[in-house]
Chains A and B, each alone.
Chain A
């Protein structure tokens, strides 16, 4: 909406102006009401006084010798009635001919020709205009004066009323600036106090940056709207701080991970150049460097995948497929590793349960979790996979191993990027510590959850929860 005036920017100013405007409007209405009421009352009083006056006038009328209507004025010479002094008197014949006008009226007329029925049944009281335009209150009545019908009109200028009311209204009008100023001050102060937390919050928020993410907004009253707002912002800050911390750690870890093979390449190269070695040694050195390059490549590729995943650049191709077949396929891929360690692998559960998601990424997640289990299960151990419906719409795949398990301190962090329980051990195995974090990403991206429960010493159980299709039909005979 376009206003004629620019809207003030500050809520405080706006509210103050708004309230002052409202109060001014209410005051104006009030004044108008009071004026109308007082005027009405005063004109009623004037009308009843006028009626009395009419009777008095009627009693003072007489026909002069010339047949003219006359008024005995002497009666009023001592009158201190303002109304009587101010009275405008006109006597008309029913036809409208002027029979008498008092001095004050002069040659003006009070109300023009009589309207039909004026003053016939009791007193007629009305507002009227004199011939010179002066507004008056006019009271009239028909009388019989010695056999002749006459219309007596008594008028009073409305100025009489206004003079009475002027004082009262003046007091009111003079008081209104005070009322408005008081309102403005009260609103300005109250709003200022109510909004004080906002400026405090803004001030504090200005100081929050990437180095000082631990700062929080002040919460003055948790129940209040602003307190709620501050709370919501603080929760958001916590989440940002958390992901920022994660990012910082990730960057630091990534640089560390990249630095390790780089250092190896450098040392191998430098040492190889120092010696006067033969072709076989040089070949060996180059081969060793290439191995490290492969490691670097793997890390960089995984990082690219994860960063692309983080920024939501990977599209999921959703389909429905049987989970058991996927697990079997993944196990078959790793079969050679499983067999090599003489690990027994079993898969139990409902064959028909389908999963809804991107098969490729879920397969990757399952392979990574399974590979992790194979890696940590000692020779001759066992790995068992179990597929079980949870409710109508979710299926849980549990993969239990007989490895050393995961100390509880590590269980929550095992899905973090580059996180390894045993730094030295995993580094030698060539993994970048990204398998489980890739699995976690792939599962959550497909509306699933991943986790691990473990009793140290008696194996770990990884579980993956995924959206299921076909659980409602077979859920009745799923085991618990």
Chain B
């Protein structure tokens, strides 16, 4: 069946559709912004020939809240709870990224105990985020009233146990505001390690079950194999990092190759797959969950004694001032490289940053859509969008 437009190997996302013959009769379908499975308020305009997508144009900005402008008038400690809401699924990552940037700007050392606690919290957050992704991905494929809902319920039940752990430490299930310049505000208690191990025992037993529920399911494999293939070169040009890049075959993980926190004391096994399709991304994320569980078990019993915060506690928000200087700090969030670029010397005589820019991994992941979607059907569009694990709060800030 010949398409109205030939789809080349390297798609040109700026294709001018009007050039093609009028009898082609391409239909324009708007996927979103209100849609059950666009993972937030996201809009992709699809140009269809029958059911095959010829061109896809994503529109971002529906969730733009002006976080960067807002942070220019807030003090450093006031920024942490605002930035929590960017990647609203893994708030620990946002907080850690922002505080790492401020620590670099102000030249503050983080003590060893805080680095261990940050690592453990980050890995637990990674498991929770991937569980949420697996549940919603199943829903995309199988329907909110159907087989997908079953996997969704199971994944969220495991996620609840992790959120209970966080509640024990920080008092919040979500959006913790537990990090500060120089360390953490909340220290872990001696009993927490046992609770973590109990929760991980249950999760370690269930992750292979979920893996077989998905990958042993013939329908799942047929719907994700070969769908949304992203080549490594294109991924790197697009700036995609994280499980999407690793599924394309590139072994690049900031935890191993540019270590921070306590990752220089342990060895993280980087999970890669070669195919670059949605099935590969699923496998990479599931294996990353097991790997994170292993890392937490390795660290939880060996947390060194010492102060949890290396800097004097901040009682007044204007305590920390930076008159000049530019800093960039990044970490490996469940979606890729989450970085923060901060320029010091802003309002309130330097107590606010002059410019704060967050480099969100989901922005790059979602910008792969014009390259990957053409040639697939509308059902595949939902699968591919789900497998890129986009968080629109992060894309738009």
Answer whether A and B are interacting partners. Answer: no
